[in-house]
Amino acid sequence: MLATKFMCGVRHLSTKLMLGTRHPSAPLMRKTSLILSAILVLAMVLTASAHPGKLDKNGGHTDKETGEYHYHKGPNALESLELRRNTVYKAKVERVVDGDTAIISFLFDDGSKYLKERVRFLGVDTPETVHPTKPVQYYGKEASNFTKSQLDGKTVWLQTDVGVKDRYDRMLAYVWLKEPTKDELDDESAIRKHMFNAILLSGGYAQLMTVQPNSRYANIFVHIQREAREQKKGLWGKDPE
């Protein structure tokens, strides 16, 4: 029962490994199969922690994170998208979780469907509002409401950097409000105007938080934050107590 929900991730992994070992010698084959089993076990452990929940008799379950029912088996089964680096994906924001996190679904022209992803916006950190143990922080509610007002139900373009997921299995992305052209990806004025991560910083709804290796816009973000701070925007406007 439990093994069924690991299928899609494991299948991709083994296909890739097989391609690299088409004509192995016997000892190499033994070694390869050992490594392969180790990786499969690791993949299962990772998948189990990333996507908890048992499948019912129809091969589906309610996702604990999104609250939505979906299938892992049968004709309506959804898969995880294998995310690529430095790539832009069109998506719909299904629900804003807080100032810097949202649940999205991918929009593809061919109508293919994938599991909804939890997306953490790169390079920024908004004050806490929904953390189970931490108190609500100053300006957290404002940041959360701002993100909801700007993104809820909207079509966005999600740009990955070098590290596409974090250790909580969240997709990591820069969120564009319009489809960026190739030139706009490195154009500071386009970034300031159309990239939501930059908009959060400039409004003082978030602080800069660069987590390596995702630092493509770190320098631009530093400038934007400095301006917001000087102008006492948002969270920078709080008087010292």
- Determine the residue type at 238: K
Q: Which of 63, 60, 46 has the alpha carbon at shortest distance from 4?
A: 60
Partners of 110 in the β-ladder: none
Residue 5 is encoded by which pair of tokens? 């929900």
Q: Which of 65, 68, 94, 128 is catalytic?
A: 128
Phi, psi torsion values for 133, nearest 5 degrees: -115, -25
- The residue assigned the tokens 């048992």 is 54
- The gap between the terminal CA atoms of the chain, to the nearest Å, is 56
Phi, psi torsion values for 83, nearest 5 degrees: -75, 145
- The residue assigned the tokens 């970034």 is 191
Strands 69-71 and 155-159, by their bridges, are unpaired
68 catalytic per annotation: no
d(CA 151, CA 20): 42
170 catalytic per annotation: yes
- The residue assigned the tokens 């000892």 is 27
128 catalytic per annotation: yes
Residues with catalytic annotation?
120, 128, 170
